[in-house]
Amino acid sequence: METEHTIEKKAHKTTHSQSQKDYLDWLSIVLVIIGGLNWGLVGAINIDLVQLLFGGFPMVARIIYILVGLAAVYMIYFATKK
């Protein structure tokens, strides 16, 4: 028979492991925030920060846009994973 302490320990371990974020989670969160802020600037004051910073390097800007889009798709998975 499990003691109350053992049950609490198991519950804490399960909760802790489910709430931890790995590298891909954090990278995706950061990229989605960057994308959201960029779109906010485009909508509010018509400034595309990615183009402003990397406009001279169109391939770099394109890669950033692709990474932000992939991060958004991953966030759909992240929001629904258990």
In a domain, 39, yes or no: yes
> How high is the pLDDT of residue 8?
57
Q: How many domains does the chain fold into?
A: 1
In a domain, 62, yes or no: yes
Which is more confident, 72 or 9? Answer: 72
Would residue 57 be called left, alpha or beta, if left means φ above 0 and alpha means ψ between -120 and 50 degrees? beta
In a domain, 74, yes or no: yes
In a domain, 14, yes or no: no
pLDDT digits (tens, 9 = 90+) for 4-60: 555 555 555 544 455 688 999 999 999 999 999 999 999 999 999 999 999 899 999
Structural domain for 45, as ranges: 21-80
> How high is the pLDDT of residue 5?
57
In a domain, 50, yes or no: yes
In a domain, 6, yes or no: no
Q: Answer for the pair 48, 62: CB distance below 8 angstroms, yes or no.
A: no
